[in-house]
């Protein structure tokens, strides 16, 4: 038993526990910035968590120590708010702000910044050392179509490096320079676009300030909305409806689909469609593709709807690219169908249409700029992508509060209905389960008896299962990975020839899209809400009268009136793509 005293209270500490962790566990607040417990990160670089520790012999003066890296020892007496501790904490924040971009009002993180929080906590009212030329001389990397890396706002906490290196195993980021020139950069001095970064956005989720963020495109959306010549077509992803309410004070995991539709109409959207509809279309194409490949004994097949996974495969495992399904992602399929089939049905000039996606994803922004994802006339399939964070900003810019809106429903008769299978795309294992439901029907001519394929629903980073599809196909061996650490493990096994799978689902973000890198940011927390959001997706599926993609009546109409059948010449031309190594 380790007993220590913090601010006069005798408390029990765990073996190897730091003063900070012990204090936090007992509800005592010590300001901190670089540390992030959820990813086991305590580099001791910011030193905001300074506390006074009485010396054991009582003879000498108390020592100042950083609470995050000082282990609790028996008999230790800690003071978190003596005058000396408070002054040390304040000095650290002041020094950190000495070369920090002070233009807070223009920062994407304004009002939601952990540095602002600690500055308030330590009572910093002025900055004696601010050096504008040093702060503003730091690198701002805008090379990526998806992300901006602004080193004038970096506090060198290294959380981004930790999540990219240990969490995602991409290891794109590295500490550069020394002393006052210390910064975070890409290996070999490359820009974000040239580097091995796959724009998964996990580093953005853990950044405490506005140093990392998506490329903000809210203004371009407003331009489209206010242009009378343009027909704005919005889509939002499966996971957005269960992760967005939190920004406006709804409980975690609340389904705010109806409020999002209402908000889009208030913004002036001309047509509101659902990415879930396109997820059903993807299942039609992907299941047919998979069965065809199984017939040709080509295995395994990887899903290809997650754009950060495509980036990862292209940059880290190009030899595996032939294994990826050629079916485009739901975001892109929706864009294509909205610029071909929809205008034909609705009598709109396709040249006037702009498709705008709202995604819990950063990589969807660079997916839409891929040269191979254009229509034959050079039009982009998708014109703009907003992350969930930008969508929240957009609503605030227009004075809209989700709580004050009466939920609405989709009303487009061609591209907004979805099945339960489309809805569960937003969580790990969802694409696999949706595909199994449809493959079973194709092979057996009847529906799967137990619609919910529970063996696919675990949450471990890498899961495997054997699914009985029957008929000529028999048992299908499947694997599902979420997060790029488990994905790398699987890719290595495939490369080495030691894996035996038919179909593999990959989601680059740990948790899948419900915890995607474009989602709302939390402070001092990482990945706490995925399971509640996922439960709501499963509930949406359960409540849906139509649970299989092939039974979606609007999907049936699309094939009857336009595409003919999965893999028809037109379907192939519009809904399939290729990857570049």
Give the binding site for ligand HC0 (CB under 6 A). Answer: 237-239, 275, 279, 305-306, 329-331, 359-361, 364, 425-426, 431, 512-513, 516
Q: Does 431 bind ligand SF4 (CB under 6 A)?
A: no
The region, left, alpha or beta by phi > 0 then psi within -120 to 50, assigned to residue 47 is: left
To the nearest whole angstrom, how small is the minimum distance from the Cβ of residue 236 to ligand SF4?
22
CB of 247 to ligand SF4, least distance (A): 22
- From the list 447, 414, 435, 346, the residue with the least C-alpha distance to 557 is 414
To ligand SF4, the closest distance from the beta carbon of 579 in angstroms equals 18
**What are the φ and ψ backbone dihedral angles of 296, each rounded to 5 degrees?**
-90, 5
Please answer whether residues 221 and 386 qualify as being in contact, where contact means their C-beta atoms are separated by less than 8 angstroms.
Answer: yes
**Which of 249, 478, 472, 232 lies closest to 358 in space, CA to CA?**
232
- What is the nearest approach in angstroms of ligand HC0 to the Cβ of residue 407? 19
Q: Looking at residue 503, what DSSP letter applies?
A: E
Give dist(CA 81, CA 8) in Å, integer: 11
Query: Residue 513 touches which of ligand HC0, ligand SF4, none (CB < 5 to 8 A by kind)?
Result: ligand HC0
For the bound state, the minimum distance from the C-beta of residue 79 to ligand HC0, rounded and expressed in Å, comes to 47
**Best CA proximity match to 537, nearest among 441, 438, 428, 453:** 428
The interface partner of residue 360, options being ligand SF4, ligand HC0, none and the CB cut-off 5 to 8 Å by kind, is ligand HC0
Choose between 309 and 562: whose C-beta lies nearer to ligand HC0. 309
C-beta of 86: minimal distance to ligand HC0 in Å?
44
Q: By C-beta, is 359 or 499 nearer to ligand HC0? A: 359
Helix runs in 352-429, H state only = 363-367, 388-397, 420-423
- Which is nearer to ligand SF4, 160 or 261 (by Cβ)? 160
Residue 198 binds which entry of ligand HC0, ligand SF4, none, CB below 5-8 Å type-dependent:
ligand SF4
Taking CB within 5 to 8 Å according to partner kind, which of ligand SF4, ligand HC0, none is near residue 168? ligand SF4
Choices 38-46, 84-92, 195-203, 559-567 (CB under 6 A): range interacting with ligand SF4: 195-203
The footprint of ligand SF4 on residues 201-240 (CB under 6 A) is 201-203
Closest separation between CB of residue 276 and ligand HC0, Å? Answer: 6
Nearer to ligand SF4, 13 or 520 (CB): 520
Identify the DSSP state of 14.
-
173 binds, among ligand HC0, ligand SF4, none (CB under 5 to 8 A by kind): ligand SF4
Nearer to ligand HC0, 458 or 470 (CB): 458
Cβ pair 240, 520 in contact under 8 A: no
Q: How far is CA 170 from the centre of its chain?
A: 15
Q: What does 331 bind: ligand HC0, ligand SF4, none (CB cut-off 5 to 8 Å by kind)?
A: ligand HC0
Helix (H, G, I), strand (E, B) or coil at 51: strand
Separation CA 149–CA 141 (nearest Å): 5
By beta-carbon proximity to ligand SF4, the closer residue of 200 and 424 is 200
Does the N-terminal peptide bond of residue 300 adopt cis geometry, omega within 30 degrees of 0?
Answer: yes
CB of 356 to ligand HC0, least distance (A): 13
Nearer to ligand HC0, 145 or 516 (CB): 516
Asked whether position 197 contacts ligand SF4 by CB under 6 A, the answer is yes
Strand 147-150 vs strand 140-141: parallel, antiparallel, or unpaired?
A: antiparallel
Does 200 sit near ligand SF4 (CB under 6 A)? yes
Of 101 and 255, CB closest to ligand HC0: 255
Partner from ligand HC0, ligand SF4, none contacting 200, C-beta within 5 to 8 A by type: ligand SF4
| Least Å from the CB of residue 257 to ligand SF4 | 28
Q: Which residues contact 185 (CB under 8 A, 6 or more apart)?
A: 139, 151, 173, 174, 175, 176
Instruction: Calculate the CA dihedral of residues 426, 432, 437, 442 and round it to 10 degrees.
Output: 130
Please choose which of ligand SF4, ligand HC0, none residue 361 contacts, taking the beta carbon within 5 to 8 angstroms, the exact cut-off set by kind.
ligand HC0
Nearer to ligand SF4, 90 or 149 (CB): 149
| Size of residue set near ligand SF4 by CB under 6 A | 13
Residue with smaller CB distance to ligand SF4, 316 or 572: 316
Backbone φ, ψ for residue 51 (5° rounding) = -135, 165
Closest CA to 467 of 479, 477, 454, 457: 477
Q: What share of the chain is helix, strand, coil (3-state, %, to 5)?
A: 40, 15, 45
Contacts to ligand SF4 from residues 156-185, by CB under 6 A: 163-164, 168, 170, 172-173
Instruction: Kindly list the distances between the CA atom of residue 99 and the CA atoms of 74, 120, 226, in Å, as whole numbers in the listed order.
Output: 39, 18, 39
Instruction: Give 441 or 527: the residue with its C-beta nearer to ligand SF4.
Output: 527
- In the list ligand SF4, ligand HC0, none, the entry touching 239 (Cβ below 5 to 8 angstroms by class) is ligand HC0
By a kind-dependent CB cut-off of 5 to 8 A, residue 201 interacts, out of ligand HC0, ligand SF4, none, with ligand SF4
The string of DSSP codes covering 202-244 is HHHHH-SSSSEEEPP-HHHHHHHHT-TT-EEEEEE-TTHHHHS
Return the residue of 198, 260, 465, 481 that touches ligand SF4, per CB under 6 A: 198
Instruction: Specify which residues 380 forms β-bridges with.
Output: 374
- Distance, in Å, from the CA atom of 293 to the CA atom of 302, rounded to the nearest integer, reads 11
Binding site for ligand SF4 (CB under 6 A): 163-164, 168, 170, 172-173, 197-203
């Amino acid at each position: 038993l380790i007993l220590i005293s913090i601010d006069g209270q005798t408390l029990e500490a765990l073996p190897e526990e730091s003063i900070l962790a012990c204090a936090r566990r007992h509800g005592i607040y010590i300001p901190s910035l670089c540390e992030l417990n959820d990813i086991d990160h305590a580099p001791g670089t910011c030193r905001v968590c300074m506390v006074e520790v009485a010396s054991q012999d009582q003879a000498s003066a108390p020592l100042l120590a950083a609470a995050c890296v000082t282990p609790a020892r028996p008999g230790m007496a800690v003071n978190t708010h003596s005058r000396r501790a408070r002054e040390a904490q304040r000095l650290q924040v002041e020094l950190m702000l000495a070369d920090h971009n002070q233009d807070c009002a223009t920062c994407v993180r304004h009002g939601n910044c952990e540095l602002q929080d600690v500055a308030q906590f330590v009572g910093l009212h002025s900055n004696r050392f601010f050096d504008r030329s040093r702060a503003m001389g730091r690198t701002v990397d805008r090379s990526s179509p998806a992300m901006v890396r602004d080193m004038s706002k970096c506090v060198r906490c290294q959380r981004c490096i930790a999540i990219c290196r240990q969490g995602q195993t991409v290891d794109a980021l590295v500490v550069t320079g020394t002393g006052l020139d210390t910064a975070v950069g890409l290996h070999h001095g490359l820009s974000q676009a040239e580097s091995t970064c796959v724009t998964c956005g996990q580093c953005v989720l853990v950044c405490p300030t506005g140093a990392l963020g998506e490329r903000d495109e809210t203004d371009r959306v407003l331009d489209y909305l206010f242009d009378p010549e343009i027909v704005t077509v919005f889509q939002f992803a499966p996971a957005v409806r269960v992760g967005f309410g939190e920004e406006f004070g709804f409980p975690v995991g609340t389904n705010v689909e109806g409020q999002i539709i209402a908000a889009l109409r208030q913004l002036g959207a001309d047509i509101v469609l659902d990415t879930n509809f396109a997820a059903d279309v993807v299942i039609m194409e992907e299941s047919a593709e998979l069965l065809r490949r199984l017939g040709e004994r080509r295995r395994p097949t990887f899903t290809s709807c997650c754009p950060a996974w495509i980036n990862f495969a292209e940059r880290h495992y190009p030899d595996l690219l032939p294994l990826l399904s050629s079916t485009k992602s739901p975001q892109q399929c929706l864009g294509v169908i909205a610029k071909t089939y929809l205008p034909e049905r609705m009598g709109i000039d396709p040249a006037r249409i702009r498709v705008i996606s709202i995604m819990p994803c950063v990589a969807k922004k660079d997916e839409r700029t891929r040269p191979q994802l254009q229509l034959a006339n050079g039009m982009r399939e998708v014109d703009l992508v907003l992350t969930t964070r930008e969508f929240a900003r957009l609503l605030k810019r227009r004075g809209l509060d989700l709580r004050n809106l009466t939920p609405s429903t989709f009303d487009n008769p061609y591209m907004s209905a979805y099945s339960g299978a489309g809805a569960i795309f937003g969580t790990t294992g969802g694409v696999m389960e949706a595909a199994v439901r449809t493959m079973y029907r194709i092979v057996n001519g009847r529906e799967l008896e137990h619609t919910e394929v529970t063996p696919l629903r675990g949450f471990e980073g890498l899961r495997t299962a054997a699914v009985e599809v029957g008929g000529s196909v028999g048992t299908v061996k499947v694997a599902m990975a979420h997060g790029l650490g488990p994905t790398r493990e699987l890719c290595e096994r495939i490369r080495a020839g030691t894996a035996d799978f038919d179909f593999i689902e990959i989601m680059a973000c740990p948790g899948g899209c419900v915890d995607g890198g474009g989602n709302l940011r939390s402070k001092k927390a990482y990945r706490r809400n995925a399971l509640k959001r996922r439960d709501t997706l499963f509930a949406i599926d359960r409540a849906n009268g139509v649970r299989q993609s092939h039974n979606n009546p609007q999907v049936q109409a699309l094939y009857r009136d336009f595409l003919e059948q999965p893999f028809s010449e037109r379907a192939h031309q519009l809904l399939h793509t290729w990857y570049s190594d």
